[in-house]
Amino acid sequence: MGIDPKAIDWDSLGFNLTETRSMYKAVCKREGSWSTGGLIPFGNIELSPAAGVLNYGQGVFEGMKAYRTIKNRIVIFRPDMNAKRISMSSQRLCMPAMDKDLFLRAVLATVKDNLDYIPPNGKGSLYLRPVVWGTAPVLGVKPVDEYTFIVYASPVGPYFKGDIKPLNLLVTNDYHRAAPKGIGNVKAIGNYSASLLPLIKAKNEGYDEVIYLNAGDEELIEEAGAANMFIIKDNVLKTPKLAGSILPGVTRDSVLTLAREILEIDVQETDVTLNEVCTADEVFCTGTAVVVTPVGKIASDNKEYIINGEKIGKITNELRSLLIGIQREEREDTFNWLQSVD
Ligand code: PLP
Ligand code: COI
C-alpha cells in the first residue's frame, strides 16, 4: 500500500525499494493484444508456482527516472527509448511486443499517482520499474499463454554510496556476463541473476562493481554489471560498440550525443581493449541508476591501475553536469529528451 511519503527522509535516500501508493497493471493473452490496464495499490501479486517467469525466466524489465526539476515541473527522461527497448527485450524472450502507447500511459499514470513520493529537486528521483513477466503456468519449455505488465515506482538516491566518489572496479576472468548471439543486449531478468555471484565476490573483496570482458578472447571490455563503460584518452571518448552482447543504454546514447554535439569531442563506438581501460586518462560508467559515475581504480590480474589520481576527470565531470543539468531543467532540453508529466 506504500509508506507515508511524509515519513521519508529525502536526505538519506539510497538505491533501495520504498513502497509507493500504486502500480500499473495490464495483461496480454498470447494471441491477443494488451488490455488497457489500470492503477492498483502497490502490493503482492498472485502467481502459479508453474508460472513461466518463475520456472524458465520469461521476464524482462526497464529502469527509468522521473525528476522534480528546478522549475518545479515533473519530467521523465527519454521514456520512448525504454518503450522501444522493452519491446526488443520481450520479443527476444518470445513475449508479446509492448504497445508503446500503453507503456507511456502506464508510466505517466504511475508517476501522476505517486507525485508525493518524488524527492525534492536535487535530492533524488522517482525510479520507475516496468516489468513484463510470463505469468501463465507451463511445464514443458515453451512460451506461456499470458503475460503481465507492471510498472511500480520507488524514490531513490545515489546507486553507489558517496554518489560521485570514484569507483573501485574488478575485472573478472572467472565469469562472463553474456556471449555474442545470447541475451546480453536485452534487459532479461536472467542476466542479472547470473551477475549476482561475481558481484558478491567482488564486493567481498572491497570492490564496487565488476567489469566483464568479451566471451571470445577476453581482450575487450564489455560493460559493468549494471552500467555501460566509457574511457577517455587524449580527448577521445570511446565506448564498446553495440555488437550483440552489451545493453544499448539510454544514458550511453545520451552521453554520446552530449559529447558529440555539445563538447564537440571525437567520439568512437568501437572495440575497447582492457589495456586501453587500464591506461586511460578517465574512465566512467553510465546508467539510469548510476547516472555518470567516475572510476578511480581498476584491478585486473592482481594488479591495480589508478585512473586520474582517483579523482573525477574533467570530461567525465562535464558530461555528468550536462546530463544532470538537462534532467533537472537547469539547462535547456535541446534534444527534447524530457517528457513532461503535467
Ligand atoms: N548495462 C546494463 C547491464 C544495465 O543493467 C544498465 C542499466 O539499465 C545499463 C547498461 C545502462 O542502461 P541505461 O542507461 O538505459 O539505464
Ligand atoms: C538501471 O540503471 O535502471 C538498471 O536497471 C540497473 C540496475 C538497477 C539493475
- 100-152 tens-digit pLDDT: 999 999 999 999 999 999 999 999 999 999 999 999 999 999 999 999 999 99
CA 261 to ligand 2 center in whole angstroms: 26
Asked if residue 209 belongs to a domain, the reply is yes
Residue nearest ligand 1's atom 11 by CA: 287
- Which of 226, 238, 326 lies closest to 280 in space, CA to CA? 238
Whole-angstrom distance, CA of residue 214 vs CA of residue 225: 13
The minimum-distance atom of ligand 1 relative to the CA of 177 is: 3
Instruction: Tell me whether residue 202 is in a domain.
Output: yes
pLDDT at 1 over 90: no
Q: How far is the CA of 222 from the centre of ligand 1 (A)?
A: 12
Mean pLDDT value across the chain: 96
Q: Which amino acid is at 160?
A: F
Percent over 70 (pLDDT), the chain: 100
The minimum-distance atom of ligand 2 relative to the CA of 127 is 3
CA 5, distance to chain mean position in Å, is: 24
| Residue range of the domain that includes 199 | 167-327
How much is the average pLDDT of 172-201?
96
Q: Are residues 193 and 253 in the same domain?
A: yes
pLDDT per position as a tens digit, 291-337:
999 999 999 999 999 999 999 999 999 999 999 999 999 999 999 99
Residue closest via CA to ligand 2's atom 8 equals: 289
Out of 159, 228, 251, give the residue to mutate to test ligand 2, the one with the largest number of ligand atoms within 8 Å of its CB: 159
Q: Say how many C-beta atoms besides its own lie within 10 A of residue 174's C-beta.
A: 8
- β-strand partners of 297: 168, 306
Domain co-membership, 149 together with 10:
yes
The band of 161, judged by pLDDT with boundaries at 50, 70 and 90, is confident
pLDDT band at 282 (very low <50, low <70, confident <90, very high): very high
Half-sphere exposure of 327 (CA within 13 A, CB side): 27
Ligand 2 centroid – CA 150 distance (Å): 16
**Residue range 228-252: mean pLDDT, rounded:** 97
Same domain, residue pair 106 and 228:
no
Residues marked active site are found at 187
- pLDDT reading at 67 higher than 90: yes
Find residue 295's DSSP bridge partners.
167
Q: What is the pLDDT of residue 119?
A: 97
Nearest CA to ligand 2 atom 3: 63
The reply to whether 83 and 220 lie within a common domain is: no
Global pTM reads: 0.97
Q: Which atom of ligand 2 is nearest to the CA of 226?
A: 6
Average pLDDT over residues 169-180: 96
293 lines ligand 1 (CB under 6 A): no
Total count of domains within the chain: 2
Q: What is the pLDDT of residue 166?
A: 96
Q: Of the candidates 18, 288, 37, which has an alpha carbon nearest to the alpha carbon of residue 150?
A: 37
Q: Pick the last residue of a domain from 156, 183, 199.
A: 156
Q: Which three cell numbers stand for residue 39?
A: 492503477
Both 196 and 311 in one domain: the answer is yes
Whose atoms come closest to the Cα of 82: which ligand?
A: 1
Is the pLDDT at 162 greater than 90? The verdict is no
Same domain, 184 and 313: yes
Radius of gyration of the chain (CA): 20
Q: Give 199-235 pLDDT, tens digit per residue.
A: 999 999 999 999 999 999 999 999 998 999 999 999 9
The bound ligand whose nearest atom lies closest to the alpha carbon of 250 is 1
14 and 55 together in one domain: yes
**What SS3 class is residue 133?**
strand
Name the residue of 196, 288, 320, 324 to mutate for ligand 1: max ligand atoms within 8 A of Cβ. 288
Residues 24 and 48 in one domain: yes
